[in-house]
Structure 1
């Protein structure tokens, strides 16, 4: 199985770890530009990494036994209708149906707006949504029309770091994000900001009602066992995260 780390995601109201994103870390390090290119261009590698990330997340969520959730990335361009997607996963997991039902909404599947343009892709994503949560990833990038999201049963929007970085000093992007937060909350969709690096950015995001934050302000991606240490009873989570960051 491929190697994965988890980047903690923070609830901006409580300041505690509420979830994490599963990230591919070949050789225990961020993927090189060559690795990323291969992942984007080679269908077999992309599907294998995605399947392994599902196995990793399902097994980690079963161990954690808490309300903490994990998200995995799905490239719809290589998945199609998804008919064969779960076959290798069912070989690695003793009772796939029972485990998927057990983790339920705690497994979050991240897709991009552009990735769900086709009928087969959106149908597969909505089939996943019957058990798991769906997040629209990298919102604010690319040229995909918002109409791609109309047929998608999603419960979270992740705002790209290109929008978040320096937002505490950019009035135009502030207006854009306020509009997005208002619209998402009107349809009961959470907003997560990616790439948060300063306390000032986090303070602004918190002020306008962004639900969650992810970025190096709190933590880089860390090994699974370290992340699982953060899934302790809630009163100790903030202390654990601070101790881990200080140690690194």
Structure 2
């Protein structure tokens, strides 16, 4: 919009200059000067039309100030007072530009500069009285002031009154402008839809004022962290929309995840889409909405990129699964307070032949987006069950196995049957298998996923809620969650020994869990001090680098945790995650 307005004014000024050069009485030298200035104005208009959309906002100070200088030069070169006054009236263009583009102090600075330059030029011209020049100046100031008021009034119709962000109307305007600019310049454009997880619960439990504060906080944090040129809008209710010109889809995902990490107590689900050549604005946002749906279906608190998965990585992962090259490592879980190893968590590991070790978060995300998650989950489950069937603790009991299950797997109606088929094929006892799911997934809206969990529990499997405390579960929900074990998020453990209030809170939580028949596992225990802290609050089990990292089966079985130690009662080992 800024480019179009500025270019239009430059072209209009150039045309006016051509007419001024034809004024009667103009000397040859003066006529050529005016023609040269008119040609410069027309050229500036053409350049602005072509490339102005790429300029940052601060770059517009130069063409606006140059326009005032150009008007002053035409005034000085005018053949008579009539032509000089007509040229001086073009200063209104610069005044409108300044009031339209810039803040009020900068707009007044531009108008003061332009008025001073043109008034001085009229005095140099010599045939225009000062009173007439001042009358013209007052008209220019009034015109700029009125235009600014109209601009502010018009822009308020595109603003959300609560957060100060653009509303849906303002977002749609920006989307069409950036989409058109992207098609002209081949500049990449990414769009994102941001949805607050369980926002209705905040309004219901803490009131709408607290909900409004959460919305304003999101607007402040994201507005501060986003790069220049980004457009953040409140799309409606608890949903925000984001445009990132010049940012690719994968980079947009990384940016969104970094910003979301700055408010871990406010969960967000995000769908991202990168604009494709020839794609309309509506199609772009439809794909972003589809990615948002995928993020919610996979358990919330996630950021998904529509169509952005590395196709080569997917092909290589599929080949690795077919060849059995995805390994399963095991991290020990110990019983407190004695510290005996009673179980393990199975974790997938993949070493790419060219890329080297691939982070689990990367290839698991690729598996979820590509549909390979079912094959990956089945491979980990069957491999782990086969590896650990018959493996005993130092007390002679079957090692309990924890396996992570994604939201997409649980949402498949055949999930429970596949788990039982794996147990039957490997001989692993169902009573020692723990299915680990995230808190946000259990709190989600998938009736199929919840039905699957109930079916698994009915088949004597144990359900563990992983990363408990990162979502919005209330204590009153503990008796209704389809779970036997809670795994405290490692963020609690990391600050437990430094926060007496948190220690007291967890002590109360553990007591409540015990009253409800739930075991509690502390994740991320890395130091003896943290172990002492989780033992003091009453956690049943612990897991972390203090007891061992995830290692291959042979190394785990040969480890010191598998020899010696006291016997753990069967009812405890059957529920450890």
Q: TM-score range by the shorter chain?
A: 0.7 to 0.9
SS of the residue 1:136 aligns to: strand
Q: Does 1:181 align with 2:510?
A: yes
Q: Does 1:59 align with 2:386?
A: yes
Displacement after TM superposition at 1:80 (Å): 1.2
Distance in 1, matches of 2:562 and 2:492, equals 32
Question: Which residue of structure 2 aligns with residue 105 of structure 1?
Answer: 431
Instruction: Say if 1:197 and 1:217, in contact at 8 Å, map to a contact too.
Output: yes
Instruction: Say if 1:57 and 1:107, in contact at 8 Å, map to a contact too.
Output: no
Q: TM-score, normalised by structure 1?
A: 0.81
Q: Does 1:73 align with 2:397?
A: no
Question: Which residue of structure 1 aligns with residue 543 of structure 2?
Answer: 214
Instruction: Say if 1:22 and 1:70, in contact at 8 Å, map to a contact too.
Output: yes
Unaligned runs of 5+ in 2: 1-323, 568-577
SS of the residue 1:165 aligns to: helix
Question: Which residue of structure 1 aligns with residue 376 of structure 2?
Answer: 49
Unaligned runs of 5+ in 1: 238-248
Distance in 2, matches of 1:146 and 1:78, equals 27
Q: Map 1:94-133 onto structure 2 (within 5 A).
A: 96-97=423-424, 103-116=429-442, 117=444, 118-130=446-458, 131-133=460-462
Instruction: Say if 1:192 and 1:214, in contact at 8 Å, map to a contact too.
Output: yes
Question: Which residue of structure 2 aligns with residue 195 of structure 1?
Answer: 524
- Runs of 4+ aligned residues of structure 1 deviating over 4 Å after TM superposition are 84-90, 144-151, 230-233
Displacement after TM superposition at 1:32 (Å): 5.4
Instruction: Say if 2:524 and 2:544, in contact at 8 Å, map to a contact too.
Output: yes
SS of the residue 1:141 aligns to: coil
Distance 1:71 1:80, change over 3 A: same
The correspondence for 1:19, drawn from 312, 323, 343, is 343
Distance in 1, matches of 2:498 and 2:564, equals 33
**Which of the pair has more CA radius of gyration?**
2
Question: Which residue of structure 1 aligns with residue 490 of structure 2?
Answer: 161
Distance in 2, matches of 1:110 and 1:29, equals 24
Higher relative CO (Cα under 8 Å, sequence separation at least 6) belongs to 1
Q: CA RMSD in A?
A: 2.8
Instruction: Say if 1:138 and 1:160, in contact at 8 Å, map to a contact too.
Output: yes
Distance in 1, matches of 2:357 and 2:342, equals 24
Distance in 2, matches of 1:60 and 1:213, equals 22
Question: Which residue of structure 2 aligns with residue 4 of structure 1?
Answer: 328
Displacement after TM superposition at 1:177 (Å): 1.0
Distance 1:126 1:206, change over 3 A: same
